[in-house]
Homo-oligomer: A and B are copies of this chain.
Amino acid sequence: MSGWIAVAGLGPGAEALVTPEVTATLAQATDVIGYIPYVARVAPREGLVLHPSDNRVELDRAAHAIALAQAGRRVVIVSSGDPGVFAMASALFEGMEARPDCHDLDIRILPGITAMLAAAARAGAPLGHDFCAINLSDNLKPFSEVERRLRHAARGGFAMAFYNPRSASRPHQFTEVLRILREECERERLITFARAVSTPEERLLTVTLAEALPEMADMRTVVIVGNAATRRVGRWIYTPRSVSA
């Protein structure tokens, strides 16, 4: 039997946001690899081996998946959200790069509902015009690069979604992000802090840039910054589709 690897996005948390494609693929798997809380979302069953692992071992997971698939196993690497957005798909290809022996493996990337789009849907339509997604973690890039992107995004008129805005190990960085935004954007700019969307811990808060505080974000939060035209309508916020000349 020939093995394969699927890198699957489990969506933001709710079962109702897992695509049928992912559900069907998990039903065919022999092995599930991923970060502990994501593997915990997969129902155990006979014949399925769960391989939960800790954070920051993405390349070990990739190597493990490759070895299992080469041995004929049917492997699903699970990510939350979408596997191609700050998640395991890039890590798998990075792990394959120096390994021409695995370039012919049967690999599929299965998209999922990424956190910023689940959060935007709950808030209204803040990403309804041109927008960008920025990973604020400086584990994988220097903060100077984050700053450069923030300034270009603001000057380009993009709405922005921030992943991994703040963690216990780097509590001060998001303070810097807010400082940079305050240099680039008006005080009334709307910011939505969307935590754990579609789970029982979901919490949504929209404030102005002037009112935003670093502690409004944690690692389970996606932060959405509107563009200059983003506004409230009733309990919703949205970004108009059009820009006048």
Contacts and interface: CB of A to CB of B under 8 A. Distances in A.
A1 interface: no
Interface of A: 11, 14-21, 24, 58, 82-87, 89-94, 96-97, 100, 103-104, 107, 109-114, 117-118, 120-122, 124-135, 140-142, 144-145, 148-149, 151-153, 155-158, 233-236, 238-243, 245
10 contacts: A16-B19, A84-B117, A86-B241, A89-B121, A90-B240, A111-B118, A140-B241, A140-B242, A148-B157, A152-B156
Given A94-B240, A97-B233, A110-B121, A85 B153 contact: no
Given A14-B21, A58-B241, A93-B236, 15 more contacts: A16-B21, A85-B117, A91-B241, A93-B124, A93-B238, A94-B240, A107-B236, A109-B120, A109-B124, A111-B113, A111-B120, A127-B133, A148-B156, A152-B152, A152-B153
A229 B104 CA distance: 23
